[in-house]
Amino acid sequence: EPEVTQTPSHQVTQMGQEVILRCVPISNHLYFYWYRQILGQKVEFLVSFYNNEISEKSEIFDDQFSVERPDGSNFTLKIRSTKLEDSAMYFCASSTQGAYNSPLHFGNGTRLTVT
């Protein structure tokens, strides 16, 4: 069964450094998402991406964050200058239609640790 893959599984970085989290969504999916989960807390929505542009974003997704789909397969989340509070598990997801109408397929997550 096709799956969403995320790399790396664990990323350690120093405060102030840039990180890029990578995702390969399921090939025929059109909608792409990033979520994060700080340890011990609820999952939080970050951003939706459709038709090569951001369609929704949360208050968390400020100017430090950006997303790209640089080619037909990869979907990336960049954090320009990491803060300690960015430490979390970051999940990529994709779907054939929007989340109001189709299930989401999640990757296994990237654990980001900012020191």
Partner 1 sequence: KNEVEQSPQNLTAQEGEFITINCSYSVGISALHWLQQHPGGGIVSLFMLSSGKKKHGRLIATINIQEKHSSLHITASHPRDSAVYICAVRPVSFGGTSYGKLTFGQGTILTVHP
| Amino acid identity, position 103 | P
Apex 56 CA angle, 38 and 24, nearest 5: 65
Binding string, residues 80-99; x marks residues near partner 1 by CB under 8 A:
---------x-x-x-x-xxx
* Subset of residues 34 to 73 that bind partner 1, contact rule: CB under 8 A: 35, 42-45, 48, 50, 55-56, 58
Give yes or no for residue 22 binding partner 1 (CB under 8 A). no
Least separation in angstroms between residue 80's CB and partner 1 is 22
Token pair 């990529």: residue: 92
Instruction: Fill in the DSSP letter of residue 63.
Output: T
Q: Where are the alpha helices (DSSP H) in 21-89?
A: none
**Considering only 14-22, 63-71, 78-86, 107-115, which stretch makes contact with partner 1 by CB under 8 A?**
107-115
CA distance 113 to 10: 8
**90: its two tokens:** 């970051």
Footprint on this chain of partner 1 (rule: CB under 8 A) = 31, 33, 35, 42-45, 48, 50, 55-56, 58, 89, 91, 93, 95, 97-109, 111
